[in-house]
Structure 1
Amino acid sequence: MATIEAIHTATIQVLLADGVGRLTTTRVSERAGVSVGTMYQYYPHKQALLFAIVERQLDLIVRAMLEAAERLEGCDLRTVSDGLATAWLDAKMADLVSSRAIYAIAAEFDLAELMSRAKNLMVEAISPLLRAIPDARFADPDVTAFMLAALLGGTVRVVMEAGSSEDDLERLRQELPRACLGYLKMSACPLCPSDE
Structure 2
Amino acid sequence: MPVAPEHALKPRKRPRQARSAATVEAIFEATIQVLLSDGLAGLTTTRVAARAGVSVGTMYQYFPHKDALLYAVLEDYLDDVVGALETASDRYRGLPLAEMSDGLVHSYLDAKMRHLPGAQVLYVVATELETTDLMGDICARCEAPIARMLATASDVRFDDLARVTDAFRAMLGGVVRAILENDVSPRALAMLRTELPVMCRAYLQASARPIEP
- Aligned positions of 1:85-124 closer than 5 A: 85-124=105-144
AA at the equivalent of 1:137: R
- Aligned positions of 1:9-158 closer than 5 A: 9-158=29-178
Does 17-26 or 143-152 show the bigger shift?
A: 17-26
Q: Percent identity?
A: 46
| Cα root mean square deviation, aligned | 1.3
Which consecutive segments of 4 or more residues in structure 1 shift more than 2 A? none
CA distance in 1, matches of 2:22, 2:91: 32
Bigger proportion of residues as helix: 1
Shift of 1:175: 0.6
In the superposition, the TM-score normalised over structure 1's length comes to 0.93
CA distance in 1, matches of 2:38, 2:164: 39
CA distance in 2, matches of 1:26, 1:75: 50
In the superposition, the TM-score normalised over structure 2's length comes to 0.86
Q: How many residues align?
A: 193
- Structure 2 unaligned segments of length 5 or more: list them: 1-20
CA distance in 1, matches of 2:148, 2:58: 44
- Structure 1 unaligned segments of length 5 or more: list them: none
Shift of 1:151: 1.0
CA distance in 1, matches of 2:170, 2:100: 16
CA distance in 1, matches of 2:120, 2:133: 20
Quick check: 1:170 aligned with 2:190?
Answer: yes
CA distance in 1, matches of 2:50, 2:117: 20
Q: Say which SS state the counterpart of residue 22 (structure 1) adopts.
A: coil
CA distance in 2, matches of 1:169, 1:72: 24
Residue 2 of structure 1 aligns with which residue?
A: 22
CA distance in 1, matches of 2:128, 2:38: 14
CA distance in 1, matches of 2:183, 2:62: 31
Does 142-151 or 93-102 show the bigger shift?
A: 93-102
Does 12-21 or 148-157 show the bigger shift?
A: 12-21
CA distance in 1, matches of 2:156, 2:99: 12
CA distance in 1, matches of 2:125, 2:82: 18
